Structure 1
């Protein structure tokens, strides 16, 4: 198994396409402008096990988006969180094999103690479990997603 973490500008075209495809397969992200948002990320993370089985990112969220997340969730102190953890996806064939944990370990190393926030579906118990295990805590209240008929929960890691 190989863990790769690098800035989008250092990724090959193939890596960027693989990343975008896996994020798209997750079905929870607006695809409008996704390629540009990927390019603005701080770091992209890939987990390979004969092929790419999981991806994630340390994102540089724009100020308006970040303000909206914290406002909708009624969570305090948005200015403490420079980065957003996002686009976490493990391919359906690779689930239940520990790749999510490996991905979170790679992200933790890449963050090196920097504060960040993340959102996940209110009904995504496995992701919430991982967030809790890696020092994230729930903040604010659930709020309705703009990308589907479900609610999101904000997690923060100081």
Structure 2
């Protein structure tokens, strides 16, 4: 029905820092929330919220970040509901004719 994961790729994280102009310190940020997908037949029943809540619980207080295409309004709203906020700078997507936005959610640890 759906999937979500935390990607922990520090090389990719450095690229995101460069593109966004935001430091994502290794000791604060566990990784990038990604691969969030809910099968179309099961959308609009808050499965994305359940998957995101599970990721946040598994992060055990560490910060997380997500890169979201500007046109993906659903993902942007979902992450905002869970305490993520968009940083000011966006950058061109290498995958689509769109811009990428960095969303971050700081943790209790550091």
TM-score (norm 1): 0.61
The answer for unaligned runs of 5 or more in structure 1 is: 1-52
Number of aligned positions between the proteins: 104
The answer for unaligned runs of 5 or more in structure 2 is: none
Structure 1 residue corresponding to 2:61, chosen from 105, 108, 113: 113
| Structure that is richer in helix per residue | 1
Structure 2 residue corresponding to 1:96, chosen from 44, 55, 75: 44
Relative CO higher for 1 or 2, CA cutoff 8 Å, sep ≥ 6?
Answer: 2
Are the aligned partners of 2:33 and 2:66 in contact in 1 as well (CA < 8 Å)?
Answer: yes
Matches within 5 A, 1:8-157: 53-61=1-9, 63-75=10-22, 77-79=23-25, 80-157=28-105
| Structure that is richer in strand per residue | 2
1:13-38 deviation per Cα after TM superposition (whole angstroms, max 9, x unaligned): xxxxxxxxxxxxxxxxxxxxxxxxxx
Larger Rg: 1
Q: What SS does structure 2 have at the residue aligned with 1:149? A: coil
1:16 paired residue number: none
Tell me, in whole angstroms, the C-alpha distance in 2 between the residues paired with 1:91 and 1:133.
Answer: 20
Structure 1: 4+ residue segments shifted above 2 A? none
Provide the aligned C-alpha RMSD in A. 1.3
TM-score (norm 2): 0.86
